[in-house]
């Protein structure tokens, strides 16, 4: 067992449950922070896997996730922001 696999084990057992706890409670916007942190942790895990197993082709996964993760977070933030802007608009229309 080399140090890379030990680092993967520490990240998977200690960091990922915390990220999942952050995404499992709170409002939808608060869950987004947990999702972003989980994306970062999984990127590190994938890069460590490429080093630990000695297969450099695994590093492509980490690079793809590093591109897709912030894009996914931006998509979520776009739709959640549109919803929270929409909500007071409909309530005022209903009051009027």
Binding site for another protein (CB under 8 A): 1-2, 5-6, 8-9, 12-13, 16-17, 19-20, 23-24, 28, 31-32, 34-35, 38-39, 42, 45-46, 49, 53, 55, 57-58, 60-61, 64-65, 68-69, 71-72, 75-76, 79-80, 82-83, 90, 93-94
State the Cα–Cα distance between residues 54 and 83, nearest whole angstrom: 45
State the Cα–Cα distance between residues 77 and 71, nearest whole angstrom: 10
The answer to whether residues 77 and 43 touch, using CB atoms and an 8 Å cutoff, is: no
Q: Spell out the residues 6+ positions from residue 94 whose beta carbon is closer than 8 angstroms to its own.
A: none
What is the nearest approach in angstroms of another protein to the Cβ of residue 33? Answer: 10
């Amino acid at each position: 067992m080399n140090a890379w696999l030990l680092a993967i084990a520490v990240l998977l057992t200690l960091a990922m449950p915390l990220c999942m706890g952050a995404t499992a409670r709170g409002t939808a916007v608060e869950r987004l922070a947990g999702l972003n942190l989980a994306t970062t942790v999984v990127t590190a895990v994938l890069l460590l896997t490429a080093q630990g197993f000695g297969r450099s082709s695994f590093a492509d996964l980490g690079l793809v996730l590093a591109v897709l993760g912030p894009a996914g977070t931006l998509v979520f933030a776009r739709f959640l922001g549109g919803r929270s802007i929409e909500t007071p608009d409909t309530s005022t229309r209903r009051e009027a």
